[in-house]
Every structure is written in C-alpha cells, then in structure tokens.
Structure 1
Amino acid sequence: MEFIDYYKVLNISENATLEEIKKAFRELAKEYHPDKNKSIDASQKFRDVFEAYEILKDKITKDIFDERRRKFYNKQSAEFKNEKYTKSETYEHVKKEANKRAEYFSRMTFDDFIQSSIFMLKKATSKFALILMFLFGLFMIFFGLFALVNANNNEGLGFLIMLFCFAFGGTLIYIVQNDWKK
C-alpha cells in the first residue's frame, strides 16, 4: 500500500482549517486541470489534488487519514500495511469515489470545471435567503414571547411553545451568522 501525504499534496499544514483546505484545492485544481495545464503529469497531479481534497474536507476520512499518517511517519510501517479496522472501508470507499470524480472533472473543459459546484464550493444560501432566514428567526423568537404572554390559563404550554420558538429562531439566526461569515 502506497502512502500519499495529502497535506503535502495540497501544500498545507496538518492543522489547516476547512477554509484553507478549500482554498488550496481551488488554487491547485486551477493550476493542474488538464485542459489548462498541458504537462504530461498534469492529469495525475489534478487527480491527486482532488483526492486529497475529498479526503481532508470530511471529518471522518480526515481523522482516519491523520491516524494512518501518524502511523506511517512513526515508522510503524508494518502496522500501517496490515491495518484491518472497519474505518478502512469507509476511507477506501471515499478514496475510490474521489478518484472517479477526479477523472470526471479532469475530462471537462477548464471553463466547465470552473463553473462546476465542486470548484465553486458555494454556500448553500444566497444573501437574500440569509436575510429571510434571519427575519424568520426573529419572528419565531417574538412569536415565542407572544405565546408565553398570551398563554392565559395554560402557562406550561405557553412556556413549551416559547422554548420551541426560541430554539428554532435561535438556530436559524446561528446558521445565518455562520453562513454570512463565509
């Protein structure tokens, strides 16, 4: 089993954030896309970059990779080669799928690749949708307060409605706040 250090492939540190991983992927994918780079090894480098991104962007496969990397660099190559734990199947599946997708994207024209969702790594929501989510979150919080104040004889039910509305509204506002930063 050959070991490829995905951090070296992407030229990032092992402590890189998801944003740093995405940025490195975008830069290297532009550089090595076979439609743009006509060198002999561009296609393989593109696939390696794509595979590294697919493994490192996901917490589960990144954790598995980090464990394998640690074993490999700690000179425990026998342990690395004879690894037989269940997480390997997930890791190998993601790696295999990454190779298939890399092959697909490497056959695209560069312009199509730049417009693809994998390269754009867009946020799921537009600014308009974020504003609507924020306003709905505020509405839910105020509705919760309204339900509590107008509960009349059933304060327990009013309190439960208020809790639900606060939780739901607060979650929406939290999502908006996190997505807006990106």
Structure 2
Amino acid sequence: MTDDYPDEVAGPFPRPPTTFEDREGRSITIRRYDPEDREALTAMYEAFDPADRAQGIPPTSEKRITEWLDAITGEETVNVVAVHEGSAVGHATLVPDEPANTAELAIFVLQDYQHAGIGTRLLKTLLGAGAAVGFERVWLSVERWNDPAISLYEKVGFRASDTESFEHEMSIRLADQTESTG
C-alpha cells in the first residue's frame, strides 16, 4: 500500500446507477452491488479468461470465488457491477485499508466486453460511489507491463506512486463528499 497520494483532487465522478451505450452498441447499466447480484458475479468470474487474471485474482475455482466474493462484498466495501441483458460483465470494488478513509481498488471486465468503454465508466462510477461514502484516497497495484490498464488509470486521474517493484502502485485523491455533490 502506498503512503504517497497526489496533492491534487480528482473528480467529481458519477455515482451509480448509470446506463449508457458502449462502443459496441450494447446497453450497459452500472449499479451498486446488491446481494442478489451474487449469482451473476460468480458466473462472471467462472467465465473469466485465465489470461486476464492478474496477481492471483480473480480466483479460478467456485469455492475460492465464493470465499473471495465474501471478502470483497462485505458491509465496509463499495462495489459496482456492470450489467448487460441481465448478466454481470464487469465488477469493481473498493476495500477499506489503512489509514482511515483509504481503500484498495480492483476492477474486472469480461474479455468480450473489454475495449468498449465499460472499464472507464465502471472505474469512474466506482470512484463516485466511494467518494459518496467518504473514501478520500484510493490505491491499486497493476502489473508493470499492463499498459492498457495503466493508461486507463492515468486517464481517470491515478498517478504512479511506486514504480520500483514488480508491480506499479498507483493512487488517487478523491473529492470529498461535499465537493462531489455540488
């Protein structure tokens, strides 16, 4: 986890729910996670392309997926789900970390839905939802050779905070709740 966050505040970001047409003409809705989404999320992660797995996530077996989802969808977390025709096609989560009001971010989009603008919208909407509940700082780690992901994070406002290791650490400072609401 980084201790180095940008001084400048990013945002404000949109809050869920939001519906848009992706670059493929598909109607995508991004909404806050609801426990009723659990089955669709499990199915999404079971279908996830092994080549798109990074840093051991998402896990591969149904049992491990269930345990992982238990950990990242608890009361303290913030989750948004991208849905197309009733199926989960993307998921992003903020998991609380130290110090207070800090979270670690993870985002996943099914391979058939990548490069269509869904990841950008999912990321921005998650950050809006996180700011709304009081997260002020968000960090993530990304494999240093994952140029498309790094470009996406930079486009949204993340800045590299640690590039000396195997993985890039990136961070963003969010507008506080009052700044996000107007």
TM over 0.5: no
Higher-strand-fraction structure? 2
Which entry has the higher C-alpha Rg, 1 or 2? 1
Q: Larger relative CO (CA 8 A, sep 6+): 1 or 2?
A: 2
Task: Calculate the TM-score normalised by the size of structure 2.
Answer: 0.22
Task: Calculate the TM-score normalised by the size of structure 1.
Answer: 0.22
